[in-house]
């Protein structure tokens, strides 16, 4: 009886190992040779996962709650437990609400934030999670480049001053703004900046023409000014927003302005998760 159990136990273990190997192989096969930008469907909040062909993964914000975990699992696969870089654009709940859960589940190598403070239990949970993770912390306090690969980089464009240790009365205006560059493709990630910050970024002359604009502040009427659109001339705008949210985002004012500029617009409340792919020359919406 013991010999039978031992033989069958070994077979079962081999079957489990084979099944795991097959799943991992399929996951590796599913990786595309393209840059992928996933606007995750997290409701009224922001979460963007960027994946390079070499496997580098960057998460910008974590949405309002732990729902980001199911989105990440679907995109990354159930066995992937590492994220190379996490950016917390600012301390509002709809952007960092899910990040403590992300750090609890995934091994994160580095974190980018402004160093600004907010007197909330959620912000304290996020700050504690960063310390517990032991990740390297990069402060967004000046224009700087973060190389991601031989062909990709992230330009941190805003804030252009240190807010470390300051309790910010309006953290939206000090959201991390970054431009993703992959070959000739570029995308501007804007957090929740509003008119004041947009004007100052434009005046600093750090903006360039981009292919895709992540619309600031979910399409609020206080953002996406004519000056920002003129400085960036995007072809496509993406809006991360919850269906029938109480703020009325995105506003007709912003949608009309984008349409007047001939900018195609995609929204997570109507399209669900949005995935862009690029070969470094052109880009397209993945089906």
Q: With 0.75 as the threshold, say if the pTM is over it.
A: yes
Instruction: Please provide the average confidence, as pLDDT, over all residues in the chain.
Output: 92
**pLDDT of 72 above 60:** yes
Q: How far, in whole angstroms, is CA 231 from its chain's centroid? A: 22
Average pLDDT in the 119-138 region? 97
Bond from prior residue into 250 cis (ω within 30 degrees of 0): yes
Cβ atoms 206, 143 nearer than 8 A: yes
- pLDDT (tens digit, 9 = 90+) per residue, 223-241? 999 999 999 999 999 999 9
Confidence of residue 4 (pLDDT cuts 50, 70, 90): very low
Rounded Cα distance between 260 and 107, Å, is 44
- pLDDT (tens digit, 9 = 90+) per residue, 79-122? 899 999 999 999 999 999 999 999 999 999 999 999 999 999 99
pLDDT at 31: 64
**pLDDT of 24 above 50:** no
Q: What is the DSSP string of 182-235?
A: ETTEEEEE-TT--HHHHHHHHHTT-----SEEE-GGGG-TTSS-HHHHHHH--S
- pLDDT (tens digit, 9 = 90+) per residue, 27-46? 444 567 999 999 999 999 99
Number of H helices, E strands in the chain: 9, 15
Confidence of residue 22 (pLDDT cuts 50, 70, 90): very low
Confidence of residue 151 (pLDDT cuts 50, 70, 90): very high
pLDDT at 77: 86
Average pLDDT in the 54-71 region? 97
Rounded Cα distance between 138 and 123, Å, is 17
> How big is the CA angle at 267 (ends 265 and 271), to the nearest 5 degrees?
115
**pLDDT of 191 above 60:** yes
């Amino acid at each position: 009886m013991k010999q039978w159990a031992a033989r069958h136990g070994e077979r079962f273990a081999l079957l489990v190992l084979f099944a795991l190997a097959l799943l991992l192989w399929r996951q590796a096969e599913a990786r595309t040779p393209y840059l992928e930008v996933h606007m995750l469907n997290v409701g009224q909040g922001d979460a963007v996962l960027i994946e390079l062909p070499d496997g580098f993964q960057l998460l910008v914000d974590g949405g309002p709650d732990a729902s980001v975990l199911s989105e990440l699992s679907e995109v990354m696969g159930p066995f992937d437990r590492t994220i190379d870089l996490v950016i917390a654009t600012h301390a509002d709940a709809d952007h960092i609400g899910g990040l403590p859960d992300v750090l609890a589940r995934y091994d994160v190598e580095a974190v980018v934030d402004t160093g600004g403070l907010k007197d909330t239990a959620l912000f304290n949970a996020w700050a504690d999670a960063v310390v517990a993770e032991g990740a390297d912390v990069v402060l967004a306090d000046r224009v700087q480049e973060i190389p991601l690969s031989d062909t990709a980089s992230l330009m941190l464009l805003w804030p252009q001053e240190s807010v470390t240790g300051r309790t910010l009365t309006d953290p939206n205006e000090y959201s991390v703004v970054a431009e993703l560059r992959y070959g000739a493709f570029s995308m501007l990630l804007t957090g929740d900046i509003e008119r004041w910050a947009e004007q100052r970024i434009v005046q600093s002359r750090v903006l360039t023409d981009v292919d895709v604009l992540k619309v600031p502040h979910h399409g609020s009427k206080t953002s996406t000014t004519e000056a920002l659109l003129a400085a960036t001339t995007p072809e496509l705008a993406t809006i991360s927003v919850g269906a029938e949210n109480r703020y009325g985002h995105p506003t007709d004012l912003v949608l009309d302005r984008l349409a007047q500029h001939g900018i195609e617009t995609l929204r997570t409340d109507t399209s669900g998760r949005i995935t862009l792919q690029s070969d470094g020359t052109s880009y397209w919406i993945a089906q």
